[in-house]
Structure 1
Amino acid sequence: MSESTRFTAGILLITVVTIAYGGLTLLTHLARRKAGYLDNPVRRGLWTAGHAHAGVLVLLALAVLPYVDAADLSDGGRTLVRTLFVAAPILMPLGFFLSVVRPSDTKPNKLIWLTVAGGASLSAGALLLGVSLL
């Protein structure tokens, strides 16, 4: 495993703590029947989606890291693929969370586009890595 991949894996593993904290926060909102969360289906749905995407995308990024080192890419190409896979679990959840920050928000604001940026990052990283492995 390259030094860059090991470092990236370390950063991703540390983010698992923040995802666990987010899950605890969501459970607290449910248990305490916090106004603006439980009674706001849009906010509840987007925050749940943000939490789920964060966890799944971090695991996916960790799973693909060994393949980045095995890919037929230059050092710059490997850095780009690592960056794209790390950006997705940051951008997507941010879009879900920040698009309905206020408890009174009943529709997402323009920050929902961060989810699209995260999806584009994930797609580009997966395509580059997949093609380079063939």
Structure 2
Amino acid sequence: MSSATLTIAGILLITVVTVAYGGLTLLTHLARRKAGYLDNPVRRGLWTAGHAHAGVLVLFALVVLPYVDQAHASDGTRSLIRGLFLAAPILMPLGFFLSVVRPQDTRPNKLIWLTVAGGASLIVGSLLLGINLL
């Protein structure tokens, strides 16, 4: 595995700590029946989605990273693919969490667009990798 791929894998593994911390935070909100979480279905739903997407996307990125070095692509394209797979599990959950930061928020703010950016980076990275593996 290339050093660039190992670096991205290392960063993704470090983000697992933030995913675990997020899960602990959600569990604490549930256990303590925290106002602004249990009584706010929009916030609860988006934060749950953010946590779930973070975990799944980190795992997905770690699984596909070894294939980047096998792709028939230029170094620049490989770097772009790695960056896209790093961006997705960061941007998408951030959009879910930051769009309803305040306990009284009942509608997502404009930061929800970070989820779209994360989804776009996942799609583009997957297409680029898939095409360059064929």
TM-score, length-scaled by structure 1: 0.99
Gaps of 5+ in 2: none
Shift of residue 86, structure 1, vs aligned partner: 0.5
The count of corresponding residues between Structure 1 and Structure 2 is 134
Query: Does residue 1:40 correspond to 2:48, yes or no?
Result: no
| Matching residue of 2:101 | 101
2:92 alignment counterpart: 92
Q: What root-mean-square deviation, in Å, do the aligned CA atoms of Structure 1 and Structure 2 show?
A: 0.4
The percentage of counterpart residues that share the same residue type is: 83
Q: For residue 70 of structure 1, give the secondary structure of its aligned residue in structure 2.
A: coil
5 Å-filtered alignment, 1:1-134, equals 1-134=1-134
| Superposed displacement of residue 49, structure 1 | 0.2
| SS in structure 1 of the partner of residue 91 of structure 2 | helix
Superposed CA deviations along residues 8-41 of structure 1, whole A, max 9, x for unmatched, are 1111101101100000000000000000001000
In the TM superposition, residue 102 of structure 1 has moved relative to its aligned partner by 0.4
Give the 4+ runs in structure 1 shifted more than 6 A.
Answer: none
In structure 1, stretches of 5+ residues that fail to align are none
